[in-house]
């Protein structure tokens, strides 16, 4: 952004008439390198997202490393396209302002990608609740074990890409013995971790049914 604005405010008289061959060579080399990196990242991205749409996966993914490379390289390739158009059109129409304008557009593009990445990853930095689609199908949310009463205090908190903290409020019948209560808790814990290995920490609040 700064370079583009500076170029627009201080146009050199010889800028429009200069030979852009060196610019084209640099842009072509950059496009080859970024294109190769993009293809490698895209293969990994497609492997992780499966049948999900690209935007749907980015919104739901908890591991930014699976899509950051694709976003960065996509922005880089689009930025190189804007740079090429700025140089090409500026030389064709003898208008050096177009080159500076393309730099400003590239700056705006990079800012958009930065804000998108910041928005998508802030939850992992600050902590966030688990996706409702996960909690609705969670074994802990469904209950289904003898002695367990109604839910109401279950919470799910994402602490990292592969780390989910689960806090369960479990109510047992007054007649249940301590041994059976421990067995039930271990069964619930086993069910949850079998279905969702990312549940690295689990806490139980055991109470008696009224």
pLDDT at 164 over 90: no
pLDDT classification of 16: cutoffs 50, 70, 90: low
Q: Tokens for 55? A: 């935007």
Rounded to whole angstroms, the Cα distance separating 108 from 128 reads 29
Q: What is the dihedral of CA 103, 104, 109, 110, to 10 degrees?
A: 70
What pTM was estimated for this model as a whole?
Answer: 0.67
pLDDT recorded at residue 138: 54
| pLDDT value at residue 170 | 79
Residue range 172-195: mean pLDDT, rounded: 82
Q: What is the mean pLDDT of residues 6-22?
A: 78
pLDDT above 50: residue 166: yes
Give the pLDDT of residue 142.
47
Q: Which CATH architecture has domain 132-208?
A: 2-Layer Sandwich (3.30)
pLDDT at 129: 59
Residue with the larger pLDDT of the pair 180 and 149: 180
Numbered ranges of CATH 3.30.70.1350 in the chain: 132-208
CA geometry: angle 136, 137, 142, nearest 5 deg: 80
Question: DSSP label at 160?
Answer: E
Please enumerate in sequence order all residues whose Cβ is within 8 A of that of 182, keeping only pairs 6 or more positions apart, or say none.
none
pLDDT higher at 205 or 14: 205
């Amino acid at each position: 952004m700064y370079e583009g604005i500076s170029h627009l405010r201080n146009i050199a008289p010889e800028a429009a008439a200069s030979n852009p061959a060196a610019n084209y060579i640099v842009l072509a080399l950059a496009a080859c390198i970024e294109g190769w990196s993009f293809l490698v990242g895209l293969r990994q991205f497609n492997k992780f997202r499966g049948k999900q749409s690209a935007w749907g996966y980015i919104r739901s993914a908890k591991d930014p490393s699976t899509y950051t490379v694709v976003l960065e390289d996509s922005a880089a390739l689009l930025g190189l396209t804007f740079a090429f158009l700025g140089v090409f059109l500026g030389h064709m129409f003898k208008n050096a302002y177009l080159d500076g304008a393309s730099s400003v557009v590239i700056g705006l593009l990079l800012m958009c990608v930065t804000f998108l990445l910041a928005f998508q990853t802030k939850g992992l930095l600050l902590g966030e609740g688990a996706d409702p689609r996960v909690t609705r199908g969670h074994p802990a949310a469904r209950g289904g074990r003898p002695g367990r009463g109604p839910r109401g205090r279950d919470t799910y908190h994402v602490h990292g890409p592969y780390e989910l903290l689960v806090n369960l409020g479990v109510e047992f019948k007054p007649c249940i013995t301590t041994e059976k209560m421990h067995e039930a808790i271990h069964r619930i814990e086993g069910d949850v971790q079998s279905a969702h290995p990312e549940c690295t920490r689990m806490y139980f609040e055991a109470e008696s049914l009224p």
